[in-house]
Amino acid sequence: MEQTIIEVRNLTKQFGDFKAVNSISFDVRKGEIFGFLGANGAGKTTAMKMLIGISIPSAGEAKVAGFDVYKETEQIKKNIGYMSQKFSLYDDLTVRENITLFAGIYGLTDTEIAARTVELTNRLGIADEADKLVASLPLGWKQKLAFSIAVIHNPKIVFLDEPTGGVDPITRRQFWDMIYAAAAEGITVFVTTHYMDEAEYCNRVSIMVDGVIKALDSPARLMQQYNAKSMEEVFIILARGAKRSDN
């Protein structure tokens, strides 16, 4: 029996009369790459914010890494990494200073920080740029760096909110190699994306339409079930009836 690391039951977020997330339920298994798909405005980011403890749900239950999303948000934060849609490293700090800051916040020791900085910059091939301001790096590098920093403390789960928005296909490919590497180390990956080819890299995906989860399975089985050649076709079939458009 595989271990469940995220457990969501009837989770709801309501803003006034509007149910941004309407009673969703799903499980994420330890070590898998879970794709959280949906059109713009479907409620993906809102759902994710509840899971990472920066938005309190209106109703329902959820446990992340065994901690309750209502009462134990600070515990959750110690056990997860997060990379937001907006690039959110500090542009006016160098690569090394950004690494040190976040590693320090997560409680790594000075020797661990030094070791991880060398390892990380070498792996990304930016050892020579370690003392340059992050602002001077190209977007693709910034995003790879942001991901590396999100997993610097070996979290149990890493949440990625549209991590590959705006980067070229080669960088996207490299980015996914990094995701696989993280998963191989035992980090569970929870990722939202627009790109349906990326959906096929996931172990399992859920497809959200208008605040509800319409489908949840492995990409292969979903394609079979909807008699589609690609995830893109599956997505179009499911999302066709969507009422909410782009924000």
Partner 1 sequence: MRILRFLLRKEFLQIIRNKSILPIIIVSPIMQLILLPFAANYEMKNISISIVDHDKSQDSRRLIEKILSGKYFLLQSNAESYTVALEDVEQDKADVILEIPAGFGRDLVRDNKVKTMIAANAINGQTAGLAVSYLNSIIMDFNSEIRMQWAVNPAVQPIPVIEISSLSWFNPLMNYKFFMVPGVMAILVTLVGFMLSTMNVVREKEIGTIEQLNVTPITKTQLILSKLVPFWILGQIVLTVGFIISFIVYHIIPAGNILLVYAFSSVYLVAILGLGLFVSTFAETQQQAMFIAYFCMTTFILLGGIFASIDNMPRWAQMITYINPISYFIDVLRMIILKGSGFADLSRHFLIMFIFAISLNMLAVWHYKKTS
- Cα–Cα separations (whole angstroms), residue 109 to 24, 100, 116, 207, 223: 39, 10, 10, 40, 47
Q: Which residues, 32 to 51, sit near partner 1 by CB under 8 A?
A: 49
**Nearer Cβ to partner 1 (74/128):** 74
**Nearer Cβ to partner 1 (67/201):** 67
Q: Please, what is the minimum distance in Å from the beta carbon of residue 85 to partner 1? A: 8
Taking contact as CB under 8 A, which single stretch among the options 30-38, 103-111, 201-209, 234-242 is the one that binds partner 1? 103-111
Taking contact as CB under 8 A, which single stretch among the options 81-89, 169-177, 189-197, 204-212 is the one that binds partner 1? 81-89
Q: Please, what is the minimum distance in Å from the beta carbon of residue 200 to partner 1? A: 28
Among 22, 84, 148, 206, binds partner 1 (CB under 8 A): 84
φ/ψ region of 31 (left if φ > 0, alpha if ψ in -120 to 50, else beta) reads left
Please tell me the distance from the alpha carbon of residue 224 to that of residue 234, in angstroms, as a whole number. Answer: 9
Report the interhelical angle of 95-105 vs 110-124 (nearest 10°).
Answer: 130
Q: What share of the chain is helix, strand, coil (3-state, %, to 5)?
A: 40, 25, 35
**Nearer Cβ to partner 1 (45/206):** 45
- Cα–Cα separations (whole angstroms), residue 175 to 26, 80, 234: 26, 19, 24
End-to-end Cα separation, the chain, in angstroms: 40
Q: Is 136 in the site for partner 1 (CB under 8 A)?
A: no
Q: Please, what is the minimum distance in Å from the beta carbon of residue 103 to partner 1? A: 8
Q: Is 55 in the site for partner 1 (CB under 8 A)?
A: yes
Residues in CB range of 245: below 8 A, 6 or more apart: 40, 41
Element (H, E) at 33: strand 33-38
Q: Is 99 in the site for partner 1 (CB under 8 A)?
A: no
Q: Is 52 in the site for partner 1 (CB under 8 A)?
A: yes
Residues lying near partner 1 in the complex (CB under 8 A): 49, 52-56, 73-74, 77-78, 80, 82, 84, 86-93, 97, 100-102, 104-107
